[in-house]
Amino acid sequence: MRRYHVTTFGCQMNTHDSERIKGMLESLGLGEAHVQADADVLVFNTCTIREKPDTRLAAYLGDAAARKRQDPELVVAVGGCYAEAQRDRIFERYPFVDVAFGPGSIPHLGDWIRAGGYAVPRGKFGTHETFAATLPMHRERRFSGWVQVSMGCNSKCAYCIVPAVRGREQSRAPDEIVEEVEALARDGVKEVTLLGQNVNSWGRDLAPGLVTEFGELLRACDAVDGIERIRFTSPHPKDFRAPVIAAIAECDAVCEHVHLPLQSGSTRILKAMRCTYSQERYLALADRLRTAIPDVALGTDVIVGFPGETEDDFRATLEVVDAVGFESAFTFVYSPRAGTEAAAMPDQIAEDVKRERMERLVETVQKGAGARNRGRVGSTEEVLVEGPSRTDPALLRGRTRRNTTVNFRGSSAPGQLVHVVIEGATSTTLRGREQVMALV
């Protein structure tokens, strides 16, 4: 049997796309190889949001080229966002690549790799721009599933390459989404994460109907029997309208966790980023969320060193991070991406300044998240058990509704919902012990 291996970079959307890539390849009769060295078909599902994943990909492709010199039958396929961004250059740069395709082309991957022949002539980029709604799927997790609600993004954030590579926003039909959630529930899935580049603008491009607004979609998913937890990522602060907040507050299954990308706390920089909200509006929204959804955990994304960012701008970011009190934050050093508006801006910030700001930001984030997590010590949290702890196999690992990882003593099985008494905390994880009675 021919075997494939998929290496995935980037965000949850890409991880989910890889589940479809694997499903497509399995529908062609290929089996999964657990390491690259055992595979006849190597797929790289790439990311290009920052420079780092590009560099990592180059190293992997160097190894693939060496293998291909030994074994010319090896198929090398490069998909995802980097492939799309580099579609005109990828075969020049990596002439040994057989198939290249963008994120919108996964439905056709099967045709292209069919049994070693190529439906796309070697060296030609495979394109097909449709919504890949239902495809064979190789699910990575038994009790949690991703459900794509939209593809693409209509925002024009000056730093971001995603709109260029993933195209205009297209919402998936609500009945298809709910059917997929129902199918996952029948399969034993307890937790679904709705995925979109900008989930809370979902539905605006749909024809008028019963469910065309993200809050209504949350309610429709909440009504599905067997789904205990609903998450969604990523929302955009500008699209957090009242019905969405009400739906999070009122739906039992929708978790008390909102990822609310901040990017910068300086209104001046937010404007340069074309983020369409100000520091004040962001703070007001965080307040509204905390008031409407008691106990909500807020996560965020922050970029340091955007072109023109002064020490005062950066301090404004630290102040907002401090004031909101995020339970988690992804922190990024600004990375210029060719083709974006910000890459061409004057006043690019020196690397040492970016790094120094990053250190201060991480310190502020850790201080805040550590304090908030320590505030949970003594409480009892509902935890979805995922498996053994990554650091200590004698412990179990799971996540709270607020999306914090907990390592705990207990005897429950993956997929169970249990109560865990919290005994300790760091800035990223909790520790505890399971209460004897399982909830479900």
Dihedral sign for Cα 246, 241, 319, 11, please.
Answer: positive
Determine the 3-state secondary structure of 222 from DSSP. helix
* Residue 117 to residue 124: CA distance in whole angstroms: 14
Name the minimum Å distance from CB 218 to ligand SF4.
22
* Residue 34 to residue 39: CA distance in whole angstroms: 8
| Between 6 and 47, CB nearer to ligand SF4 | 47
Judged by beta carbon distances under 5 to 8 A according to partner kind, the member of ligand SF4, ligand 5AD, none in contact with residue 14 is: ligand SF4
| Between 97 and 333, CB nearer to ligand 5AD | 333
Name the minimum Å distance from CB 371 to ligand SF4.
29
Q: Name which position in 4, 91, 143, 332 contacts ligand 5AD (CB under 6 A).
A: 332
Residues that bind ligand SF4 (CB under 6 A): 10-11, 13-14, 47-49, 80-81, 162, 166
Name the minimum Å distance from CB 176 to ligand 5AD.
26
Closest CA to 40 of 79, 94, 90, 77: 77
Q: Determine if 260 is a binding residue for ligand 5AD (CB under 6 A).
A: no
Q: Is the bond into 18 cis (omega within 30 degrees of 0)?
A: no
Non-local (6+) Cβ contacts of 308 within 8 A are: 269, 272, 345, 346, 347, 349
Non-local (6+) Cβ contacts of 396 within 8 A are: 385, 387, 388, 389, 407, 408, 409, 410, 412, 434
Contact stretch for ligand 5AD (CB under 6 A) within 23-31, 87-95, 138-146, 330-338? 330-338
* Residue 157 to residue 419: CA distance in whole angstroms: 41
**Binding track over 22-51 against ligand 5AD, x by CB under 6 A:** ---------------------------xx-
**Binding track over 87-106 against ligand 5AD, x by CB under 6 A:** --------------------
Q: Determine if 233 is a binding residue for ligand 5AD (CB under 6 A).
A: no
Q: Determine if 335 is a binding residue for ligand 5AD (CB under 6 A).
A: yes
Q: List for the chain the helix, strand, coil content (%; round to 5).
A: 40, 25, 40
Residue 156 corresponds to which amino acid? Answer: K
**Residues 75 and 39: beta-carbon distance below 8 Å:** no
Q: Determine if 245 is a binding residue for ligand 5AD (CB under 6 A).
A: no
CB neighbours of residue 351 within 10 Å: 10
Site size toward ligand 5AD (CB under 6 A) is 12
| Between 13 and 342, CB nearer to ligand SF4 | 13
- Please give the structure tokens belonging to residue 305: 């060193």
Restricting to residues 50-79, name those near ligand 5AD by CB under 6 A.
50
Q: Name which position in 110, 152, 261, 415 contacts ligand 5AD (CB under 6 A).
A: 261
Q: Determine if 231 is a binding residue for ligand 5AD (CB under 6 A).
A: no
Name the minimum Å distance from CB 15 to ligand SF4.
9
The residues of the shown chain that bind ligand 5AD, judged by CB under 6 A, are 49-50, 159-160, 261, 263, 301, 303, 332, 334-335, 337
